[in-house]
Amino acid sequence: MFEGDLDELDTAALLAAASEFGGVQERAAVRMLEAALAFADRNAVVDTGTGAGEVLPGTEQIRVYGGAGCPGVAEFAPIEFGAVMRMSSKAAAAFIGEALGLRHRLPRIWAAVLAGNAVAWRARKVAHACLSLSMDAAAIVDRRVVGIVNTVTPGKLGTIVKAAVWEADPELAKAAAELAAKERGVFVGPSDHHGTKRFWVRAAAGDVIRFDATIDDLARALKTLGDTDSLDVRRAKAIGWIADPAAAHQLLEVARHLARTVPHISTLDDPTHDSPAPDANAAADDREPAGDRSVADDTHGPDDRPAPDDWPMPDHEPDPDDWDGPDEHGTPIGAGDPGEADRVSARGPDRETDCQTDDGDGADAFTRWMLAGSLPARLAAIKQHAYSRGLAAGSGRRSNRHTLYVHLTDQTLASGNGVLRVEELGPLLMSQLTELLGHDQIVVKPVIDLHDQVSVHSYEIPDRIRERVRLRHPVDMFPYSAAEATTRMDQDHIIPYDRAGPPGQTGTDNLIPQGRLHHRAKTFGGWKCRRLPTGAIEWTSPHGFQFHVDHTGTHPMPPIGPGAC
């Protein structure tokens, strides 16, 4: 293999060297699969430690990762394999399962991989697609696909594999299709680190139509109040108002009243309602429910909308498990993104034209521009009034509050400019914080100084300590894990709790968040950890490999012990 200065090569030689490097990489990928198989074979049994075959709670068990017909593997084995391979535990388990699936369920494709006639990563995708198939069905896919693994594009290969899977097990395909048709849910995607999230809704058609109409109502209400943003942006803002029904009702009522009192704004005028709408100070008893009256569209009716079949949708149903990030779950195929480039508006370009005016002279646009300056104050007043004399006044109840953790420097706070970090969202600009908080009532809580060492003399962890530990370590502190440290995640004592030991063992300096599998591996699987003076966590695997985990990620240490090189 060429190891000299690549700049010294002419273009043809450079391309030849790149091809040679690719061949080396592919041979290494095959060897990685062989190593995974050998490692799995060495971890096909577990020691229950009881001598009678009884499995104690939390101890290691056998798991089948490659599908029917594959041998089982001790469930803690992929954890160490993944750490030395610099991948998450879940990604390592999937890798081992795909290797076992190729050897035991797709022997023709596996032979092609060993012979250099099938690229390893393509073969792994086929094995992954066949996980749910029976041995007989997998054999049909093996025969159908073996000759084309290396000759078609990845997209075409995926289509062919899908067709082969359906042919191999039509009953399974039919059951999967029927199950998908019955699935309902709302799927929330991760933050894109720009202050936005995405969600997909799959619900009864009537409910979706009514939800869409309510979004339109609120978007036009915002326009009436002076919001100069585009229809798509205002529809996005409407989601925040839908989350607060009382405030949404108040917004619609105020917008209707304004549409009648300001001549050039009539997008929310309801010609079927003769009596004037109550103003913002009217009593709640004088208001009619928001659902009893629809807002008229002054541009296009529902029949002008594109047919649902023309709307851009994700290629497949989003999988919430894929949304925890590639660091925790390997490199799963994405769930589809309706916001990709070349997106066509689902509502069509002619549903509402923001420059369109009621009388053709631009008066509506001018009035909206005049109102825009006071828009934030107007919206804040509407929300406040909704709970002082609005729909919620009778019950005295508000929607559930959400605690928002914001990390920022004193300089950013003083200047109003800079970067801050919001838990569950990631980095944001200071200017985006206003949009995140919205026009709601905000309670500022005392700052939590994470440098304070707080502890108690008990095994149980109080909520105030759990909160500090989660804020100090926002992710699972196991090597190469990036799972978010949610309130449901385990918090483990770094130094095991000793009931006869000194006081203060349960404290912020002796606790770290861990997923249940990693917690069990530390308790029963031979993993050890300690906190370093720098604050990092040093992990030692059952076979002596060491890793340092801190706020910058995982850092493998040089090998130690008899196997060191």
Q: Which residues of 27-42 are buried (b: 16+ CB within 10 A; e: fewer)?
A: eebbeebeebbebbee
Burial class (CB in 10 A: 0-12, 13-18, 19+), 502: exposed
> Mean pLDDT, the chain, as a whole number?
76
Bridge partners (DSSP) of residue 514 are 490
> 356-408: per-residue pLDDT in tens?
434 333 445 545 555 556 777 778 777 777 766 544 444 445 555 677 888 88
Give CA–CA dist 493/519, Å, rounded. Answer: 10
Q: What is the pTM of this model?
A: 0.67
Q: What is the pLDDT of residue 268?
A: 42
How does residue 526 score in pLDDT terms, banded at 50, 70 and 90? very high
How does residue 454 score in pLDDT terms, banded at 50, 70 and 90? confident
Four-residue CA torsion sign, 213, 214, 216, 217: positive
Question: Which of 71-75, 199-203, 365-369, 428-432 is most confident?
Answer: 71-75
Query: 406 or 556: whose pLDDT is higher?
Result: 556
**Would you list the domain boundaries of the chain?**
6-185, 202-332+349-393, 401-447, 455-556
Could you tell me what percentage of the chain is helix, strand and coil, using 3-state DSSP and rounding each to the nearest 5? 45, 10, 45
Find out whether 466 and 491 touch, Cβ atoms under 8 Å.
yes
Q: What is the pLDDT of residue 98?
A: 97
H helix intervals, 295-429: 326-329, 363-372, 375-388, 410-415
From 105-119, 258-272, 287-301, the region with the lowest mean pLDDT? 287-301
- Length of the chain in residues, anyone? 565
Query: 170 or 106: whose pLDDT is higher?
Result: 106
Largest CA distance in the chain: 89
How does residue 26 score in pLDDT terms, banded at 50, 70 and 90? very high
